[in-house]
Amino acid sequence: MRVNLRPCSLALAIAAFVILQGCGTREVEKFVPQPYEVKVPVLVERKPPDSLLQRYVPIDTPVFVDPSAADVVYGLRQQDWERLQIILRTMQTRDQAWRSWATGKGDPNE
């Protein structure tokens, strides 16, 4: 009985070629990233001035009355209307002070 070795020898030759080809290649140089320092500004929380942190409590609060009563405008008597205007002006001033402080465009204590 005779065995045909040609297909086996061809497969062995191809395997040997692939193995030798793998051994003969040079090593590929790998890119290794190097760390470097990047300076970025970090936000630092600023503490608002005490004048802005104080709670605002109006001294005299307006009392709303029946709009059909005599000497009443918008449900307020004259003295209550003036009290409401004082409260609104104070709150607007505080709002402007907060915005000024938040944008860094001035000292709210001025």
Tokens 């915005």 label which residue? 99
Helices (H) and strands (E) in the chain, counts: 3, 0
Give the pLDDT confidence of 1-30 residue by residue, as tens digits. 565 656 677 777 787 777 777 666 667 788
pLDDT for 17: 76
> What is the distance between the terminal CA atoms of the chain, rounded to a whole angstrom?
113
pLDDT of residue 42: 87
Name all contacts of 62-65 with Cβ < 8 Å and 24+ positions apart.
62/87
Q: What is the pLDDT along the chain (110 residues), one digit of tens a residue?
A: 565 656 677 777 787 777 777 666 667 788 889 999 999 998 888 888 888 899 988 888 888 888 888 888 888 888 888 999 999 999 999 999 999 988 887 655 54
Extents of the domains making up the chain: 50-103
- Model-level pTM? 0.53
